[in-house]
Amino acid sequence: MDKIDVIWSKAKPDILENWRDCQEAGLPHTPENCKEVIEAFERFIVSVKALPSSHTDAEVLGQIQTLYKTLDAINEPTDNALLETDERGLLVTIIVDIAEAAGVDSEKYDGEPGGEFRNF
């Protein structure tokens, strides 16, 4: 299992647990939108892993931008109440970890590669 797979195998249960807690608290977190978020992350991971070994930071950042656009589309029907502070702390950490595993130096991006694309 490569480093990105390890990151995802540890992170996915945390996302699912967070969603269950939020749903129990009456927030707009449903099994359907959780599934959409999980699928968006899995597509992101596949796309990052498919980059050539000589990829550039810009290519990884492009994949992050695509992920953030997808997450924005999932968030919009909930009046942006789905992805807030708790999700930002959880999901952004995963994205940064995956970017770093793909060779991006997060310090070159103030600790958050792709942060300029994030709206939540």
Rounded CA-CA distance 94/91 in Å is: 5
**pLDDT over 90 percentage in the chain:** 96
pLDDT at 86: 84
Q: Which two tokens stand for residue 27?
A: 């927030």
Q: Which of 28, 14, 1, 10 is nearest to 83 (CA)?
A: 28
Q: Which two tokens stand for residue 66?
A: 């695509």
pTM, 2 dp: 0.95
pLDDT at 81: 93
Question: Quick check: 1 pLDDT over 80?
Answer: no
Q: How many CB atoms lie within 10 A of CB 99?
A: 23
List pLDDT tens digits, range 83-115.
988 889 999 999 999 999 999 999 999 999 999
List pLDDT tens digits, range 55-68.
999 999 999 999 99
Mean pLDDT over the full length of the chain: 96
List pLDDT tens digits, range 28-40.
999 999 999 999 9
